Structure formats: C-alpha cells, structure tokens
Chains A and B, each alone.
Chain A
Amino acid sequence: MWNARRSLLLSKICVLVFMAALAAALIAGPWLVSWLIGFSANAHQQHTPWFLATLYSGGVFAGILLVQLYRLLHNIGQGGVFTAKNISLLRGISWCCFAGAFICLFSAIYYLPWGAVAVAAAFIGLIVRVVKNVLAQALALKEENDYTI
C-alpha cells in the first residue's frame, strides 16, 4: 500500500539517481560535450571549452542542491518538517537554482538554447523561494500553537 514513508523513500531514490547522473555527467563531461557538438553538426566546435566550463560550474551548484535536497528529505523522514533548518535548506536550494540560472544566462552568449535553461532554472528557484516563505510562516504558526497552553 502506498503511504507517506514510501513516497519519501521514492523521493530519496530520485535524488540519489540524480546524484549518480550528475557524477556520470561530470566524469564523462568531455565526451558529453563532444557528442553534443557532433550532434549539432560540428557547428559549435570552437565552443568546446565553454561547454565544459558551463557543465562543471553548473555541476558544482547542482551537486550542492542535490545534497541539500537529500538532507531536507532526511529531516522530513525524521519527523522534523516545520524547522528553521529546513527553511535554511530550501533557501539554499533556491539560491543554487538562481546560481545555475546565472551560469546558463551567461552561457547563452555562445549557445542560445542555454537561455531557455536559465529561464527554467530561475523559475524553479522562484517557486522554491515561495515554498520557503510559506514554510517560514508555517513554522511561526506552529511555534505559536506549541506555546498555546
């Protein structure tokens, strides 16, 4: 039977799969970039170092984001949902999305489709930020409720 614990486990597995995919992408970075350039009929041959720079600088923030996401899920699994620590983690996740968007925005100078990725990353960052604000209000309500005798 499907329940909250299994849902949490599935989310954790998804995060771990993404971590593995990120590690694979970073290890196979040069091959991945050459494949992408080959795929676009060698039109971006001269941009190989730039693609690599985007991949590795974005990979740092993607790694930080995934670790924070895993810690958030771990905290929720431990029963700590409305906590200051979780709000801080959501804030970090949001900033990682914005950092990724910033990198992609600059990368759009040499490869325009990065612009679409930048918009998507910034949009996700914004949504996470709103969720963080909602959680902060929920924490304030919980504290008030806890101290109502």
Chain B
Amino acid sequence: MPIIVNLDVVMAQRKISSGELAEKIGISQANLSILKTGKAKAVRFSTLEAICEALACQPGDILEYRAPPKA
C-alpha cells in the first residue's frame, strides 16, 4: 500500500511506549501494533485525532504517501 504509517518514528521522537500510547488513545496494544506495522486497512478520524493529541503532532507526521514503483 502506498500509504506509509510513520507512527513508530513519531513515538520514538516523543519517547513514548506502545503501552502508554495505547492507553492514552484508548485502543488495544494489538490494534496499535496493526497500525504501526502498516497492516491496517483504514484509520478512524477519532483514532487519528486521539493520536495527534497524544503525540502533539499533525496527521501528516504520521501518514505519508509514497508512490508505488512503476513496473
């Protein structure tokens, strides 16, 4: 998928653990792991809002578009 989730990078910059972030935004660690590893198929606005609030960042800091290489 050409949408890259840079959540782990922002988390490292803010020095926050997965458990701590999961608790702050109110989702399970398993779901946070799905999001971090890029396995998620969609992100709710409410989740994105909670992440941005917890990490004091913008949606663009977490999500990035990279065009797939042309065959």
A residues with a Cβ closer than 8 A to B are 143-144, 147-149
Contacts and interface: CB of A to CB of B under 8 A. Distances in A.
Interface of B: 27, 31-32, 34-35, 39-44, 47
Contact of A144 (B27, B34, B42): B42
Given A144-B42, A149-B34, A149-B44, 17 more contacts: A143-B41, A144-B41, A147-B34, A147-B39, A147-B40, A147-B41, A147-B42, A148-B40, A148-B41, A148-B42, A148-B44, A149-B31, A149-B32, A149-B40, A149-B42, A149-B43, A149-B47
B36 to A, nearest CB: 10
Contacts of B42: 144, 147-149
B1 to A, nearest CB: 11
A15 B40 CA distance: 40
Contacts of A147: 34, 39-42
A144 B47 CA distance: 16
Nearest to A143: B41
Contacts of B35: 149
15 contacts: A144-B41, A147-B34, A147-B41, A147-B42, A148-B41, A148-B42, A148-B43, A148-B44, A149-B31, A149-B32, A149-B34, A149-B40, A149-B43, A149-B44, A149-B47
